Every structure is written in C-alpha cells, then in structure tokens.
C-alpha cells in the first residue's frame, strides 16, 4: 500500500521527507542504544517500529518528542532540525523556545496515557490548543467536542480521567494529541497497558484516524496484526540498528533475516 | 487565698483574648510567608539554576540548623546595625515565616517529586510553556497531596509564637506573664493561656488528621 495521496495540507513539498534521522547515536551511560541510525519517513507515511525490547524503538520516539537528547547526528522534522538549532549557518544546541516551536508539530500518545488528573477531559483537550496554539476557549471547546465524538466519548467531556477506564483514558489521550493538529504523531505502545478486551477498540480507532487524516505516524507496538494493517512500512530493530525495512506484506511473510523470522515467531506464538 | 480564683480569671480573660488575637495574626501572616516562600524555594531548587541552587541550599541548611530564637534576635537586634529596623511584630512574622519556609519547602519538594514523570512528559508533548506546566499541571497535583503536612507546620508555628516574648511581642504567654507579675497570681493566667492554645491547636490538628485520611482514601 503506497502512502495516501492526501498530503496537500502538509507543510513543505511532498517530496521532502517529514522525518530525517541522520547518523543518530544515543547512549545511556556506556550503553549504546542507537548506533549510526539513518532513515527518513515521508509525509503521511505510517511506519511501525518492531523488535525485541531494548532494541531502541521507544528511544526513537522519545528523541523525536525531545524527551531525550541525542549524542551524535541530527534529527529533523518538517525540514527543521529538532536536535539542533540552525543559527548563523551553524548547528547549535537548541534553545527551549525554538524547541517548543518545533515540538508543536509533533504529538505523542504514551503507554500510560498520562492524562492530567487535575483536569476534566475537556480541560485536558483544550489545554494545549488554548495555551500553545492560541485558540480561544470557544474554538478549543468545539475542537474538543469534535474529537471526543471521533473517539466515541462525547458524554465523558466533563468527567475526570480517574473516572474513566484505561481504554477510555487512552482514547482521550489520543484526542488530546490530535487536538494540537500535529504533522507527526508518535504512538508509544499505546495498547500495552490496556486490558485485553479494550485493545481492539483503541486499535480500530487508530486505524480510522490513520485512514482519515494525512498525519505522519510512527508507531511502536507489539500488536503485529495492527502493524500489518496499519503501516505502509515496518522497520525491524535489533541492537540499536535497523535490521530490516520493508512494507508489511514483505516483512511479515518473507523477511530477509533469520533474526526477524525468529522475532516474529516469538511474538506471534503468544 | 484559693488556688483558683474565678473572679480573677474572668477579669484577665479579655486581656488574654486580646493577646491571642496578636498570636493568631502572627500565625496567619507568618504562615502566608512560610507557605509562599517555601513554594518559591522548592520550585527554584527544582530548576537547578547554578549558584542560586547552592546559595539556597546553604541558606536552608543554616536556617534549619540554628535555633529560631537566634534568628529572631538576629533580625531584631543585629539588622538595625545595618540600617534595617523592624518592629517586634514584623520580626515575628518574618522570622517565623522564613524559619518555617525552610521546612515547608521540603514538604513541597516531596510533593513535587511524587508527581509521575509521565506528567512532565505529557507537558513536553503538548509543548506547554514552563510556567503553565507548574501552575496548570504540577502544583495543582503536588500541593493538595501535601496539605496535611503543611497544616501540621502551621500548627507548630502557632505554638512557637510565645517565643517572641523574648523581643517583647505581647502575645498570649507574654500577656499572662505580665498579668501574673502585677498580682503575683500565676495559676490563672498561665492556665488560661495554655487552655487557649489547646482550644485552637487540638481542633486544628483534628482537622489535619481528617484531611490526611481523606487524602489516603482518595
């Protein structure tokens, strides 16, 4: 399946990649998590990262969200450096103000939802749009209502996160990320903390969102069925490197590497 | 002469109640200083600003490691030498406020540290401005958790106000002492002074305990 041809509203030319990793290295102490990693993601593309735990998949999402700083290389999103700030033709460490500006175009949904428990669902949804994008309360509110309708939780708008089930909380978290109208959406094991019976609904929702928007989506998941249906491309990671990078049909049915076969065997046997 | 003279007790009660008002005023104003300044200390420490971080650390350690009485004497007798003269009342408020701010800052710090990392990360993911992260997400979660601990410090402070008799603040115990020295009857004034503290502290600590239980249940 090719990337959807609905990239008209994506900033920049459609031929420019949305995400560029160039020679990225990330270490935690002496532990090298990512080594000389380079890849690009096209606008509107859905890429799923799979691989054994500790292979650096989540670190890639966290680097993109600037929750971690890289040690070597560069990362750019939408044509702007995320890892550095270009000042006077030189790459310098990014300042907070610059980072906030680039980050605005990136949204993330976490394994543990991370909704703000001191706010209602509505509060969670209008927080970013009003405080960061400068929307009026009314505009943010109607956007929140629209999104809650999309995720099927319209009647929960005045509930507190603690009154919701895990699946409902994750739907709100997805709506919260979408409320920022991001160009890039990062999904970090979003169903791993859910009760099994709630997983399907959330995956279905993501599938719908993937089909109805042109957001570039990077996804770390252990749900191989979802990865297969949802992605245009699957990247298999092992030991901080991309072992294999192929469309899902190829990677899941006829992988090049024995390591990939073994991994798929292990997770699909579950 | 009876051990307890009811007429005398009722005679001195208005004066003692008036002094109690001063005690409460100092407690309330001192609490405002302690609760606000402690919060500022806690947030500043968390920002890890070079130099300021060390200065604050040293300040907090010095204040916590020296007696409140020494600090009060310093403010009252030493500061005037540097051209800063404060009334005994103001010294009481400032002295107690700063002293307890070093304790409340630790309480706030514990509350802030207890906020899950995911909350900070969600703020980053939404690109929230730093000030809003504090005022909209972190403190509204951290402060309610530590309200009981803060309440206990306010009660402690209330009971420490009599220390200010050393610089002539006319609070309850000082008033009792003066009344006693006029008549050489000490039983009634000190007993009433003690009862007044008990009457306010005990319900207040019951309130804090209820708050604690509600927090624990939540």
Domain of residue B91, CATH code: 1.10.3720.10
Q: What pLDDT sits at residue A239?
A: 85
For residue A58, the surrounding DSSP H or E stretch is helix A57-64
- Collect all residues of chain A within an 8 Å Cβ-Cβ radius of residue B140: 118
Partners of A109 in the beta sheet? Answer: A187
- Rounded CA gap, B126 and A123, in Å? 13
Domain that holds residue B70: 6-217
Q: Is B205 inside a domain boundary?
A: yes
Q: What pLDDT sits at residue A145?
A: 97
Q: Is B171 inside a domain boundary?
A: yes
- Rounded CA gap, B192 and B14, in Å? 11
Complex confidence, ipTM: 0.90
- Collect all residues of chain B within an 8 Å Cβ-Cβ radius of residue A104: 127
Q: Is B186 inside a domain boundary?
A: yes
Surface of B (124-153) touching A: CB under 8 A: 124-130, 132, 136-137, 140-141
Q: The whole model's pTM is what?
A: 0.89
Q: What pLDDT sits at residue A14?
A: 53
Q: What pLDDT sits at residue A8?
A: 42
Low-confidence ranges of chain A (pLDDT < 70): 1-14, 270
- Collect all residues of chain A within an 8 Å Cβ-Cβ radius of residue B135: none
DSSP-derived secondary structure for B64-127: HHS-HHHHHHIIIIIGGGGT----HHHHHHHHHHHHHHHHHHHHHHHHHHTS-HHHHHHHHHTT
Q: What pLDDT sits at residue A270?
A: 56
Q: Is B1 inside a domain boundary?
A: no
- Rounded CA gap, A121 and A187, in Å? 20
Low-confidence ranges of chain B (pLDDT < 70): 218
Distances (CA, A) of A207 to A17, A75, A90, B100, B153: 22, 27, 41, 55, 53
Q: Is B122 inside a domain boundary?
A: yes
Query: What number of residues does chain B have?
Result: 218
Interface check A128 vs B, CB under 8 A: yes
Q: Is B110 inside a domain boundary?
A: yes
Domain count for chain B? 1
- Which single residue is written with the structure tokens 């160009």? A183
């Amino acid at each position: 399946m090719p990337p959807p041809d609905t990239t008209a509203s994506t900033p920049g030319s459609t031929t420019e990649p949305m995400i560029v990793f160039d020679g990225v290295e990330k270490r935690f102490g002496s532990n090298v998590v990512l080594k000389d990693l380079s890849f690009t993601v096209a606008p509107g593309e859905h890429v799923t990262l799979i691989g054994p735990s500790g292979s650096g998949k989540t670190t890639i999402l966290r680097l993109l969200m600037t929750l971690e700083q890289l040690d070597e290389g560069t990362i750019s999103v939408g044509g702007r450096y995320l890892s550095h700030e270009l000042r006077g033709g030189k790459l310098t460490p990014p300042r907070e103000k610059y980072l906030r500006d680039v980050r605005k175009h990136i949204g993330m949904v976490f394994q543990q939802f991370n909704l703000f428990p001191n706010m209602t669902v509505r509060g969670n949804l209008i927080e970013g749009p009003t405080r960061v994008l400068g929307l009026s309360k009314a505009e943010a509110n109607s956007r929140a209502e629209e999104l809650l309708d999309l995720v099927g939780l319209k009647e929960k708008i005045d509930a507190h996160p603690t009154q919701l089930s895990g699946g409902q909380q994750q739907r709100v978290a997805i709506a919260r990320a979408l409320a920022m109208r991001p160009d890039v959406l990062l999904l970090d094991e979003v169903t791993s903390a859910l009760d099994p019976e709630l997983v399907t609904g959330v995956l279905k929702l993501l599938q719908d969102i993937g089909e109805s928007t042109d957001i570039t989506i990077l996804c770390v998941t252990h749900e191989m069925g979802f990865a297969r249906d949802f992605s245009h491309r699957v990247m298999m990671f092992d030991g901080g490197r991309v072992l294999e990078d192929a469309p899902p049909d190829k990677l899941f049915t006829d992988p090049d590497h024995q390591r990939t076969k073994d991994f798929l065997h292990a997770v699909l046997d579950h | 002469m009876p051990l307890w003279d009811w007429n005398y007790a009722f005679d001195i009660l208005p004066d003692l109640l008036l002094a109690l008002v001063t005690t409460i005023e100092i407690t309330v104003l001192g609490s405002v200083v302690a609760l606000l300044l402690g919060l500022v200390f806690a947030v500043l420490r968390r920002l890890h600003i070079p130099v300021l971080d060390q200065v604050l650390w040293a300040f907090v350690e010095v204040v916590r490691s020296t007696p409140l009485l020494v600090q009060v004497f310093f403010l009252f007798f030493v500061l005037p030498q540097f051209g800063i003269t404060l009334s005994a009342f103001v010294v009481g408020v400032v002295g107690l406020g700063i002293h307890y701010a070093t304790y409340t800052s630790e309480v706030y710090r514990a509350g802030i540290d207890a906020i899950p990392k995911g909350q900070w990360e969600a703020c980053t993911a939404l690109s929230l401005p730093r000030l809003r992260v504090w005022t909209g997400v972190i403190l509204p979660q951290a402060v309610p958790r530590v309200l009981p601990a803060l309440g206990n410090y306010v009660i402690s402070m209330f009971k420490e106000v009599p220390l200010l008799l050393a610089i002539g603040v006319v609070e309850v115990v000082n008033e009792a002492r003066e009344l006693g020295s006029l008549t050489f009857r000490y039983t009634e004034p000190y007993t009433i002074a003690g009862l007044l503290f008990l009457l306010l502290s005990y319900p207040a600590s019951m309130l804090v305990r209820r708050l604690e239980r509600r927090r624990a249940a939540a």
